[in-house]
Amino acid sequence: MQDKTFESLGLIEPLLKGVREERYTTPTQVQEEAIPVILSGRDLIACAQTGTGKTAAFALPLMQLLAKDNRPLAPRKARVLILTPTRELAMQINESFKTYGRHMHQYTAVVYGGVGQTPQVRAMQRGVHVLIATPGRLQDLMQQGHIRLDGVEFLVLDEADRMLDMGFKPDIDRILAKLPSRRQSLLFSATMPENIVDYARTILSNPVRIAVSPESPTVDLIDQQVMFVDKDKKISLLLSVINEKGIKRALVFTRTKHMANRVAEHLAKNKIPADAIHGNKSQNARTIALDRFKSGRVNILVATDVAARGIDVDDITHVINYEIPDEAESYIHRIGRTARAGQSGTAISFCEAQERTNLNNIQYLLKKEIPVVTGHSYHSQRAQYAKGEESRMPQRGGGNRGYRNRSSRPQNRSGHGRQDGHKKGGYQKRRRYD
């Protein structure tokens, strides 16, 4: 069967020109399936992780639908509203619209917390075609009368599972209450637990459902290793790995903001330049840390999953899971930060006894065992032979219940590179991550 092209998906020439200029040739699986559905006017629920090209999957058809009905803009209003959990992801989506739509002459605005609101208010004064926003700041500006949502024709909830996990449901509900009932709604989520499926039923109308797995070729390029270690020896192991391997640029993952700070402080005390980046850092502090990391002034960046979404660096040589994630899918997101642009990379996971279940889940998802490195000074047999729980059932936030699991083709570059590591039992009071 011949691969589809962007031309065969029915995109108009200005968009095709933007795609060609980005050197995209073949649509990814989610683009191939989602673009025709969106162009047809149907609601959509898509299970697609980062790295599958989902941003282009909704950006391209939405820009085409806007161009088809090129009505005048109205002050303080937007025709497309995209809700996203973090400011980094909001900025990335905004850049994608500008990149793919460089020949479309459409206006976008991005709204998020942690920075002054004056430029955002000014951007909305004349109205925009596309508004990308985090829920907290959007609601603030709505309450002040700077943004009206009664003109929204298209709604996108991106990374819906993470928005609900982060406690944004009350904000989202208040925002949705201000939208016109007649609209086209699209929901993208990396996982499909029952709470997402139930929530989708309340906001979507007879949606088409698609599910796409993360591509495996990128994972296959990564040298994956696991080192068993007792909890109190992890920082010593980290120092040893960094020094012995001569790591040039590494991303170290923790589950919590507190641990990210502790690890970065330990590294700095041992004369290893390191910064921490997480949801409690101001936008300015996060930007500075990213700039230092990209420029090489700091070669170790310690991050939580949510904060790491804003990290788009091609030459990360190592990803170190200082703490193994609670969700197996997050492991895929994490290690995908290395081995980009066809390069190889190394992913090392530190596993203590209490994390054995999480490691089992990851290996079950990968359908293979991760090689164990025992030749280090801090190897723990207690951790290695800890049984953990038998957990081959999909975790909360883990399975795609009721969805077909399909492998995507190798991505073009349109995917963007998730959680601060708190287990949830339901919706919580909103944390100010945005």
Q: What is the pLDDT of residue 212?
A: 82
Separation CA 390–CA 281 (nearest Å): 37
As given in the structure block, the two tokens for residue 280 are: 């409690």
Q: Which of 45-49, 221-225, 304-308 has the lowest mean pLDDT?
A: 304-308
Q: How far is CA 204 from the centre of its chain?
A: 22
Question: How would DSSP label each residue in 10-47?
Answer: T--HHHHHHHHHTT--S--HHHHHHHHHHHTT--EEEE
Interval 183-219: pLDDT, tens: 999 999 887 878 888 999 999 999 999 988 655 445 6
189/104 Cα distance (integer angstroms): 27
118 has pLDDT over 90: yes
Q: How far apart are CA 287 and CA 312, in angstroms?
A: 12
Burial 378-411 (b: 16+ CB within 10 A, else e): bbbeebbebeeeeeeebbebbbbeebeeeebbeb
Question: Contact 60/15 with Cβ under 8 angstroms?
Answer: yes
pTM, to two decimals:
0.63
User: What is the per-residue pLDDT across 217-264, written as a single tens digit (0 to 9) for each?
Assistant: 456 778 999 999 999 999 999 999 999 887 889 999 999 999 999 999
Instruction: Write down the residue that tokens 């020896």 correspond to.
Output: 233
Q: What band does 381 get if pLDDT is binned at 50, 70 and 90? A: very high
d(CA 239, CA 391): 32
Q: In this structure, are residues 101 and 87 in contact, taking their beta carbons and an 8 Å threshold?
A: no
Q: List CB contacts of 189: < 8 A, sequence separation 6 or more.
A: 45, 46, 47, 48, 157, 159, 160, 161, 196
Phi and psi torsions of 285, nearest 5°: -65, -40
Q: What tokens appear for 366 in the block?
A: 């990968």
Q: Average pLDDT of the chain? A: 85
Domains defined for the chain, CATH in brackets:
7-212 (3.40.50.300), 218-384 (3.40.50.300)
Report residue 429's pLDDT band, with 50, 70 and 90 as the boundaries: very low
287: Cβ–Cβ under 8 A, 6 or more apart, which residues? Answer: none
Q: What whole-number distance in Å separates Cα of residue 281 and Cα of residue 267?
A: 18
251 and 289 in contact (C-beta within 8 Å)? no
- Rounded (5°) CA angle 309-399-28: 55
Q: Provide φ and ψ at 317, rounded to 5°.
A: -85, -30
Quick one: average pLDDT of 69-91?
Answer: 93
